[in-house]
Amino acid sequence: KMAGSSTPWVGSAYLFLQSTCKTIVLPSLYESSQKKPGVFKALKLALADSTGSVNGVDMLKVHCSHPHLIIQLKFCKQENCRRFLQSYREGRLQESLQNHLQLSLAMTTVPLEMELKAGKEHLDSMLKDEDHCLECIYREKPDRLRDEEITELEEYFKSLIVHQSINNNVAVKDSVSLNSPSLPHPSQGNSHSPQATFTFQGQQFANRMLTTDDHQKFAKLVSKKWKQVGRSLQKSCRALRDPVIDNLALEYDREGLYEQAYQMLLRFIQSEGKKATIVRLIVALEENGLISLAEELLGLHSNEDCS
């Protein structure tokens, strides 16, 4: 008892996921900046279901290794790990994850195959011997801290819960606030729950996520000022810290300004996921005097000049 209380129980395992449907490729969905938050949310909720607590198991990293999505898990309590193993063995984790993915990604069905490993041990073949599985997981200590991307997704997930809990009744105040979750809510009769909006030149615009069209227009029209825009975006985006912007300039020097600007905004979109919204880019453009480009992205340009 003394030894157990003085040394916390910590173990690690890898959960391998693969869709059995050829048209659903989990690594590709996770690599998509638009789909990533939905996949992460489904993983988070299913793992919470398996242990009975949001903090029952920690995700340290999600690896994309086609066709598998591999989740590195960390357990801090033996009872949580035991609950997880029971849920996994009885197929409840699989069912829960399929349901959450189906909801988060608005798909009809997401059939899954799962595999659980701890070090070199394949735990699926020894699930009936729960104590041995626990021993294998306990032997494998986590070899890393939580990945920075996971930390950001965790923060997003928490703010989403807060956002849902206030039922979207509070107006979104700042430019980095999240949109209403894109999950279907058939139970809600209110079809026009407020989305986040912002004002530009006296007009209201929906704070939507950046599109491929926005991305291409920006890269085409921003010219030499892409670096300044990147530095404005870096104030709220870790992925664009100073060396990154300078490295992009060197790396894509031969390809020219379009590719440099394209790659910079791609970093922003990939790292921010659903938080890569149009208002953040518009604010950055305004800060650098690129009003004409902001108007172009918002569809305000006509043949006549507005004074």
Of 159, 183, 218, the last residue of a domain is 159
Domains held by the chain: number: 2
Which residues of the chain fall short of a pLDDT of 50? 1-5, 166-195, 303-307
Residue 190, domain member (yes or no): no
pLDDT in tens, 144-172: 888 888 988 888 777 766 655 544 434 33
Pairing of strands 11-19, 68-75: antiparallel
Q: Among 134, 159, 184, which residue terminates a domain? A: 159
Q: Quick one: 16 and 69 in the same domain? A: yes
Let me know if residue 183 belongs to a domain: no
Q: Is residue 212 part of a domain?
A: yes
**CATH number (domain holding residue 154):** 3.30.70.680
> Same structural domain for residues 15 and 84?
yes
The answer to whether residues 155 and 209 belong to one domain is no
The pTM of the whole model exceeds 0.75: no
Per-residue pLDDT, 210: 93
pLDDT in tens, 240-250: 987 899 899 99
1, part of any domain: no
Domain ranges, residue 271: 197-298
User: Can you give the three-state secondary structure of the chain, one letter per residue?
Assistant: CHHHHHCCCCEEEEEEEEECCCCCCHHHHHHCCCCHHHHHHHHHHHHHHHHCCCCCCEEEEEEEECCEEEEEEEECCHHHHHHHHHHHHCCHHHHHHHHHHHHHCCCCCCCEEEEEEECCEEHHHHCCCHHHHHHHHHHCCCCCCCCHHHHHHHHHHHHHHHHHHCCCCCCCCCCCCCCCCCCCCCCCCCCCCCCCEEEECCEEEECCECCHHHHHHHHHHCHHHHHHHHHHHHHHCHHHCHHHHHHHHHHCCCCCHHHHHHHHHHHHHHHHHHHCEHHHHHHHHHHCCCHHHHHHHCCCCCCCCCC
For 76-144, what is the HEC assignment? CCHHHHHHHHHHHHCCHHHHHHHHHHHHHCCCCCCCEEEEEEECCEEHHHHCCCHHHHHHHHHHCCCCC
Whether 270 and 201 map to the same domain: the answer is yes
Domain boundary among the residues 159, 189, 213 is at 159
Residues 29 and 137 in one domain: yes
Instruction: Check whether residue 139 and residue 216 sit in a common domain.
Output: no
Instruction: Give the domain CATH number at 254.
Output: 1.10.533.10
User: Does the residue 192 lie in any domain?
Assistant: no
> What is the reported pLDDT for 178?
36
Domain annotation covers residue 46: yes
**Is 4 part of any domain?**
no
**209 and 102 co-located in one domain:** no
